[in-house]
Amino acid sequence: MQIISGKARNLALNVPPGESVRPTSARSRKAMFDSLSVFQDKIIVDLFAGSGALGLEAASRGAAKVYFVETNIANARIIEENINRVKRTGVEADFLVIKADAAVCDRYVGTAKNPDMIFADPPYPESGHFFRKLTGDQQFMQWAKDALLVWEMPDFGDPDGSFLQAPGWNLKRRKYGSREFILAEVK
């Protein structure tokens, strides 16, 4: 896996071994990032960060601050390694890895303030559960009120309608490359 565009373009990233992290394909990431447009001076949060690829891509494209929320300590170390590699290419964003459960928003909302964009790519089997939990949490909604939430859908789609039920949110489904995403904004 590598950074697609910006200052760190073509930089290969370290990825945690095994099946615990499932990186978004390069084609899907490129289509998504190109369509989301301007990242210059934005504050980005990468929930369920894994390798940190989504946040690092935003930083390479000019984001000012990137927060990574990752519960797995080994994955958090890999994110820190990837941050150091990205910094050596001249990327000047402020980075912070928050070692916390992304599904428990009170662990990070006080630190990662005023996000412009929030990426979420949780483990697929629990994705619908996490989506309902976070989009139904008043503290999360208040924190995300001025942000765009970009949620990667699981391979198996939305069989129980979990991603269509988010009261208080405007939802759009978008396909980028081979992946489907929910773009959500607080109403």
Q: Could you read off the pLDDT of 21-55 as tens digits, one per residue?
A: 666 677 888 888 999 978 999 999 999 999 999 99
Note the pLDDT of residue 142: 96
Does a structural domain hold residue 20?
no
In a domain, 18, yes or no: no
Q: Which two tokens stand for residue 136?
A: 């139904």
Read off the tokens for 94: 């402020």
13 within some domain:
no
**For the chain, what's the residue count?**
187
Number of structural domains in the chain: 1
Its domain, for residue 68, covers 38-122+130-181
Would you state the structure tokens that stand for residue 111, as one six-digit string?
């630190």
* pLDDT recorded at residue 20: 57
List Cβ neighbours of 133 (8 Å cut-off, separation of 6 or more). Answer: 103
Mean of pLDDT values over 100-121: 95
Would residue 140 count as lying in a domain?
A: yes
Residue 153 is assigned to a structural domain of this protein: yes
Mean pLDDT, residues 163-183 taken together: 86
Tokens of 66: 């990137």
Asked if 102 and 71 count as a contact pair (C-beta separation under 8 A), the reply is yes
Q: Which secondary-structure segment (H or E) carries 141?
A: helix 138-143
**What is the CATH number for 149?**
3.40.50.150
Flag whether 1 is in a domain: no
β pairing state of 43-47 and 65-69: parallel
Q: For residue 45, tell me if it sits in a domain.
A: yes
Tell me, yes or no, if the pTM score tops 0.95. no
Task: With respect to residue 2, please indicate whether it lies within any of the assigned structural domains.
Answer: no
Grouping H, G, I as helix, E, B as strand and the rest as coil, residue 163 is helix
